[in-house]
Amino acid sequence: DAGITQSPRHKVTETGTPVTLRCHQTENHRYMYWYRQDPGHGLRLIHYSYGVKDTDKGEVSDGYSVSRSKTEDFLLTLESATSSQTSVYFCAISEFRSNQPQHFGDGTRLSIL
């Protein structure tokens, strides 16, 4: 299995609070991704990174920011959490740009009350 660790695995917080999720990889892969999974929507891309300090938006990026200061770590931040951001968040990594599968972490279940 790809060495991907997401933390925390579960979190409950209140509306308006900041939240940071962490993804740590031991594979030295260049590309890292954050997705959210919601019933009926499959997985949707929030942000991705193509190198240290190189990040960009995905299809559902509003309300989220990311940072990547080291190859192995990719952080997802909700600056002011809202109930609509209650979801399961997955980090993924890939070595190459295209035509290769991404490998996923075990997810973080985030509940915003």
Partner 1 sequence: GDSVTQMEGPVTLSEEAFLTINCTYTATGYPSLFWYVQYPGEGLQLLLKATKADDKGSNKGFEATYRKETTSFHLEKGSVQVSDSAVYFCALSDLGANAGGTSYGKLTFGQGTILTVHP
Binding site for partner 1 (CB under 8 A): 4, 31, 33, 40-45, 48, 50, 54, 56-57, 90, 92, 94, 96-107
Q: What number of other Cβ atoms are within 10 A of residue 21's Cβ?
A: 21
DSSP state of 108: E
Q: How far is the CB of 105 from partner 1 (least distance, A)?
A: 5
Residue 55's Cα: distance from chain center in Å?
Answer: 12
Nearer to partner 1, 42 or 62 (CB): 42
The Cα-based distances of 54 to 3, 38, 51, 61 in angstroms read: 21, 27, 5, 15
Nearer to partner 1, 41 or 82 (CB): 41
Q: How far is the CB of 18 from partner 1 (least distance, A)?
A: 25
CB 26 within 8 A of CB 113: no
Nearer to partner 1, 43 or 75 (CB): 43
Q: How far is the CB of 65 from partner 1 (least distance, A)?
A: 15
